[in-house]
Structure 1
């Protein structure tokens, strides 16, 4: 039988009219924009810690090659670091809603898992109501339920006690086949069941704002300095000096922004970002 030659991956080339613009792009963090002919709204917005390298990487798929053929010019805004690029990209995509950006285009309503005195429910957390601990940021109730089912399988938890199935007042089917530890029939106390549930949920904990006031996160790239003002997980804006950051408006109680939270939670809580308290 003849050996079939390996199929080579398609090779895409940058359109000639964009090559000089890519070559002129900075090796610095920031946000970049692809525009079609005579269009004031971008086709696509992206970000990188190295704008030029990221632009050159936009040749991986047929979809990207088609977008580049549509694009007539490239613009960019430099930032002082990766966090600034992420925050600016997130804000601009939501404001401008570029045709080719499918994620981040609109603020989503969110669901989280809440456990109070052992009772489990799934609530709308767009505004992060109340003071109870919350777990996970899910796009809808179905995804939150699937997460609970995953934990139930891992930890042999009871679907009826998790609110996934209606409690029937007797041993659940999963207990009969060994997939539930039997809290529904008294083999395990409800307190022990809840403790195991909370331990498993801890990996998805939604962190409350850990500071008593707004903060400015300081970034620097060479001589470029920025102060990103954040209050209660809300991104207020970016300022060139600490004095301007201190004059920034405070949070106005807008809806919880999950994308902003995901950008900031690790740098603020785990990575030792340079912070200035603005209280």
Structure 2
């Protein structure tokens, strides 16, 4: 009697790295460099299959190239890969920004979760005719200049609305006054004792507005604290031969506008509104700039820029 067939999951892991070659910015290399940067797994046609980043490219890529169980996502990636190209950066911030931008531009097959340009939905407040503040759900699709008046960052309108509904219930705010419900007279929540009566004239606009603003205070998005575009400079203490000696990242209104070799080349870039405001970029920049140690310079004058305390809270 023949032995039963071996199940796929029981096969020993295999390595497929023997056919993969390495390049650094398109030039042949024996191995990835030990520095920060972005890497691309490329197919035979040179199309990006996967894009990643690391503070140590060699170590990170080695974790990809080790033995893999057959028929896994990682195994399929390696079987399709002909070359791994590395793009060294001057620092970690550049790697984060370049990876995020590259994934959204090149749409690699194995970066499905990160490919979408994630718009930032938020809550804004507008005064109504009766002086009560009314909540609006807005999408910063093109510009973030008015972000200073926004609260919370959400991946969709649905999630922004659900957050506002939960806030209203927790703080006994009036859903009718906020614009979450339509109709006249006291809202249903007032009838069951879960609203303090703004809809029935029992809570003044000043009182309701104050409670609303206090409830939203911890969710307020950071305003862009600079008067205009700035350059974030990165320079490694001892750059490798393949690593940039310095890089200048152009930033404005929480948008990443590109990486340049110097101030002069950055000034030739466009900083006009109309570029997409991306939720991931906002989060990256908040993390990079929070500690206050980033070296920032005005695009217009080249003078150092002090990062406002309000942006690092």
Of 198, 208, 216, which aligns to 2:213?
198
| 1:157 equivalent in structure 2 | 173
Q: Could you say what the CA RMSD is over the residues aligned between the two structures, in angstroms? A: 3.2
What is the TM-score when the length of structure 1 is the normalising length? Answer: 0.81
Stretch deviating more after TM superposition (72-81 or 204-213): 204-213
Is 1:145–2:145 an aligned residue pair? Answer: no
Query: Conserved in 2, the CA contact under 8 Å of 1:111 and 1:141?
Result: yes
Unmatched tracts of structure 2, length 5 or more: 1-8, 24-29, 128-132, 240-244, 301-313
> What SS does the aligned partner of 1:165 have?
coil
Count of residue pairs brought into register by the alignment = 269
State which of 52, 77, 91 in structure 2 corresponds to 1:81. Answer: 91
Greater mean deviation of Cα atoms: 16-25 or 45-54: 16-25
Q: How far has the Cα of 1:152 moved from its partner? A: 1.9
Could you tell me how far apart the structure 2 residues matched to 1:200 and 1:270 are? 26
Shift of 1:18: 6.3
Change (3 A) 1:249 1:147: same
Match of 1:278 in 2: 299
Give the deviation of 1:269 after TM superposition. Answer: 5.2
- After TM superposition, the structure 1 = structure 2 runs for residues 84-123 of structure 1, keeping only pairs within 5 Å, are 84-117=94-127, 118-123=133-138
SS in 1 for 2:108: coil
What residue is the counterpart of 2:5 in the other structure? Answer: none
1:200-231 alpha-carbon deviations (Å, 9 max, x no partner): 32333233322122211011223232111223
Gaps in structure 1 of 5+ consecutive residues = 1-7
The aligned counterpart of 1:169 is 185
* CA distance in 1: counterparts of 2:13 and 2:235, whole angstroms: 35
1:273: Cα distance to partner? 1.0
**Structure having the higher Rg:** 2
Give the 3 Å change call, closer, same or farther, for CA 248–205 of structure 1 in structure 2: farther
Q: Encode CA deviations 1:242-269: one digit per residue, 9 max, x unaligned.
A: 4544x33240222332232222134335
Per the TM alignment, residue 96 of structure 1 is displaced from its structure 2 partner at its CA by: 1.3
Matched, 1:226 2:247: yes
1:255 to 267, 275, 282: 275
Pick one of 41, 48, 52 that aligns with 1:46: 52
Q: Deviations over 1:68-91 (max 9, x none)?
A: 232232111111112101111122
Q: 1:233, 1:256 within 8 Å by CA — same for their partners in 2?
A: no
- Give the aligned partner of residue 17 of structure 1: 18
Q: Is the 8 A contact 2:34 2:57 kept in 1?
A: yes
